[in-house]
C-alpha cells in the first residue's frame, strides 16, 4: 500500500503493509537508522520519535497511524546537533555505548517542550520508559537539568 509520510519536514512515499511499525519504515524503507530497535513491545524506548510533537514508541506504532502527522526523528531534531538537549548531552558526556541515546534525547526533548523547567519527579516520570543498559541515568538527569537551563537562558 502506498503511504505518504512527513518525516523531518520532508515528504516520503513508501509502499508497505499499513500495519508495519513506523520503526521499520524509518530504518529499512527510508534509511533513517538513528532510531533504534530494542524490544519491539514499547518497553525500552530506544525507538522514541516525535509524532506531532508527542514522544511515541515507533516499534508499536503502525505506519498508517502516522500518515498526515509530523514525524521527527533524531536526525531531524536539529541539523547541527544544536538542540539544547543535544548540547547538554555532549557537555555532560551522557552517552556510553550510545545505542539508547536517540530515544533518550527524543524523550527528553519532548518533556522540555512541554515543561521547560521540570521537577525531578517529572524527569523520572517522563524518562522511566527509556532503558539504558550502560547506566547513564545519573547523567541523563543532570543533562536534562542543564538543557533546561540552556532553554531558559
Q: Binders of another protein among 51-70, rule CB under 8 A? A: 52-54, 70
- The 8-class DSSP code of residue 18 comes to T
Binding to another protein (CB under 8 A) within 103-122 occurs at 105, 109, 112-114, 116
Q: List the one residue from 40, 60, 65, 122 that touches another protein (CB under 8 A).
A: 40
User: What is the size of the binding site for another protein (CB under 8 A)?
Assistant: 78
The dihedral sign for the CA sequence 50, 76, 145, 147: negative
Burial (CB count within 10 angstroms: exposed 0-12, middle 13-18, buried 19+), residue 79: exposed
CB of 4: closest distance to another protein in angstroms?
19
Binding to another protein (CB under 8 A) within 121-150 occurs at 123-125, 127-128, 130-141, 150
Looking at the Cβ atoms of 13 and 138, the one nearer to another protein is 138
Q: C-alpha distances in angstroms, 21 versus 65, 86, 93?
A: 9, 26, 32
DSSP bridge partners of 62: 21
Binding to another protein (CB under 8 A) within 64-103 occurs at 70, 73-75, 77-78, 80-84, 86-87, 89-91, 93-102
Say which residue the cell 538542540 belongs to. 83
Q: List the one residue from 35, 61, 66, 118 that touches another protein (CB under 8 A).
A: 35
Whether 85 and 143 have beta carbons less than 8 Å apart is answered as yes
Amino acid at each position: 500500500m502506498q503511504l505518504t509520510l512527513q518525516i523531518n519536514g520532508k515528504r516520503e512515499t513508501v509502499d508497505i503493509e499499513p500495519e508495519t511499525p513506523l520503526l521499520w519504515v524509518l530504518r529499512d524503507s527510508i534509511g533513517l537508522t538513528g532510531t533504534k530497535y530494542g524490544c519491539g513491545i514499547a518497553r525500552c524506548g530506544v525507538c522514541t520519535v516525535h509524532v506531532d510533537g508527542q514522544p511515541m514508541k515507533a516499534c508499536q506504532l503502525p505506519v498508517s497511524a502516522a500518515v498526515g502527522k509530523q514525524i521527527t526523528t533524531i536526525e531531524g531534531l536539529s541539523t547541527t546537533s544544536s538542540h539544547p538537549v543535544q548540547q547538554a548531552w555532549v557537555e555532560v558526556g551522557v552517552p556510553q555505548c550510545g545505542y539508547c541515546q536517540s530515544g533518550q534525547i527524543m524523550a527528553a526533548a519532548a518533556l522540555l517542550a512541554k515543561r521547560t523547567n521540570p521537577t525531578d519527579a517529572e524527569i523520572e516520570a517522563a524518562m522511566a520508559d527509556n532503558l539504558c543498559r550502560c547506566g547513564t541515568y545519573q547523567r541523563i538527569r543532570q543533562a536534562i537539568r542543564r538543557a533546561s537551563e540552556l532553554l531558559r537562558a
